[in-house]
Chains A and B, each alone.
Chain A
Amino acid sequence: MEETLLDIELKEKEEYIINMGPQHPSTHGVLRLEVCLEGEKVKYLRPHCGYIHRGIEKMSEKLTYPQLLHLTDRMDYLSAHINNEAVALCVENAMEVEVSDRVKYIRTILAELTRIASHQLWWSAFGMDLGALTTFFYGLRDREKILDIFEETTGSRLIQSYITPGGLMGDIHPNFQKRTKEFVKYFRKKLPEYDQLLTGNVIFHERTQGIGIMSKEDAIDYGVTGPPGRASGFHCDIRKIAPYSAYPLVKFNQILFTEGDTFHRYLVRIKEMWESLSIIEQLIDNIPPGETMLSLKAIKAPKGEYYQRVETARGELGVYIVSDGGPLPARIHYRTPNFSNLFVLNKIAQGHKIADLVAISGSLDLVIPDIDR
């Protein structure tokens, strides 16, 4: 079996090894963390992933581009629309076609709604990990409204496969704009409640401030992007560095801090939710009319290699396609944010206690199927 810490001789008498996972209430997904502890302090930790490796990259080599799109939702399932958008953009750039403005606006609005929904679920689970069990219900109650919007337009709540190379699978529902505007108004009133419940709480501050500090150099070296990277000062928001879809048309701030501890990783996501609301408000009233699907004869990427970067809720997703000119890709690789975010856990959790380990891994917001693909 796989070489584990158990095979290494424990140096001091006080050390012992504990296994968190693969089934554990707070590692969200099937991840095994082998932790070497001395008393309550973490000395070394080894993550073992691969429990949900499904071979998505290998499977995609036998599927056409519209078909393999459906597999991408299942990687980081909380950012499903954004994953679809990544593949769609990569193929469209390869074929050198451009979608209509209407499609760009809708894609961006859906991406921002997905970002908010993902952060809401993260907030619910993070509070629950720390012991404030009520946050689970408040966050999910608000997330239901977004899922209702998705269901009305795309037919599905969690994994939609709606954004596809060439445009969208179908036009948006007539109620889409109205419901989204209602949601934005509703959520602007509810988001301060999240602050009242957790952000200002003194117990929460004690549990998260100064815990799991990640320096900017570590973030860049390990390739940690998304909110954990931005909390350490790493300027990595792809929506600013290499804007795509309707992002060049909207004004929003990139949330950057320098402290890099759990509390600031938390704050980045809360502030990102505010920014996403502002982006949606800038776009929702101005969706231009147009066609939602290009009439393409066949979806074939010309011979060559193409790379597309997008910003999911968790960080930078990269789609790398190697094509021989046919309808099937010769090789497709997904550079997933969670894969890079996971391995920094060993560096930042050393010296902290078990309870802190739970807080730190919650603040990194890992979705395990994204690590394993």
Chain B
Amino acid sequence: MTREEMTALVRGKFPDVKLGSNKQFPEFIAAPDQIHSLCTALKEDAQTKMDYLFCETAADRKDGFHLVYHLTSSALGHCVMLRTVLTDKAKPEVETVGGIWMAAEFYEREIFDLFGIQFAHHPDLRRIFLDDDWVGYPLRKDYKDSFTLEH
């Protein structure tokens, strides 16, 4: 599918989705409560068949946490980038996509560990790299501990 066809399909099903400015992949920006249904639609639609989530990550930006999903189809080969912005930095929360792609369960554990984003309905949300009793979320820009204070 070309970029235009993809845009038309997604806009057709989810009219509120905004277009992003990424030059590499078609980028769609959805609201946090819509992202789960958008992902499900992209996986199940016979024209897109996005069955391979090859990256899910987050970034701490000025306007909130940007949660980014990179999807592709193993059969059809096209790629898509989805983004959702969580503006509430004190209690960021979004629905898990672990039920759609198994790989997401582990990507989301890492995001929870390093950013503190809560994923609703995740079967096993706990820290993956850091100790269970670690305080704070290191990859946030306002993270402070003894090491960062010295440097």
Contacts and interface: CB of A to CB of B under 8 A. Distances in A.
A157 to B, nearest CB: 29
Contacts of A318: 54-55, 70
B38 interface: no
Interface string B88-118: 0000000000000111011000100010000
Contacts of B53: 223
Contact of A58 (B132, B133, B139): B139
Contacts of B138: 55, 58
Interface string A44-66: 00000110010101100010000
Nearest to A62: B151
Contact of B102 (A1, A3, A221, A335): A221
Interface in A212-255: 218, 220-223, 234-236, 241
A277 B52 CA distance: 30
Interface size grouping (class) on chain B: 35 or more
Given A220-B51, A304-B21, A335 B57 contact: yes
B103 A320 contact: no
B12 to A, nearest CB: 25
Contacts of A222: 102-103
A218 B61 CA distance: 34
A3 B139 CA distance: 23
Given A50-B130, A234-B74, A304 B55 contact: no
A330 interface: yes
A204 interface: no
A50 B59 CA distance: 21
Interface size grouping (class) on chain A: 35 or more
Nearest to A373: B129
Contacts of A55: 138
Contacts of B21: 304
Specify the main secondary structure of chain A where it touches its partner. mixed
Given A58-B138, A318-B70, A340-B103, A333 B132 contact: no
B73 to A, nearest CB: 10
Contact of B128 (A50, A57, A305): A50
B126 A2 contact: yes
A272 interface: no
Contact of B52 (A49, A223, A331, A343): A223
Contacts of A372: 129
A241 B129 contact: no
A316 interface: yes
Nearest to B148: A58
A339 interface: yes
A2 B59 contact: no
B74 A333 contact: no
A316 B54 contact: yes
B59 A307 contact: no
B103 A223 contact: yes
B146 interface: no
A322 interface: yes
A304 B22 contact: yes
A90 B130 CA distance: 28
A28 B74 CA distance: 30
A49 B109 CA distance: 12
Given A58-B138, A306-B24, A331 B74 contact: no
A322 B77 CA distance: 24
A235 B74 contact: yes
A191 B31 CA distance: 55
B45 interface: no
Nearest to A318: B55
A69 to B, nearest CB: 20
A53 B68 contact: no
A307 B70 contact: yes
A305 B55 contact: no
- A-B pairs, top 4 by smallest CB distance, nearest first, are A223-B103, A50-B129, A53-B129, A331-B59
Given A333-B57, A335-B55, 11 more contacts: A2-B132, A58-B139, A221-B51, A223-B54, A304-B23, A307-B24, A320-B55, A320-B70, A330-B61, A343-B102, A372-B129
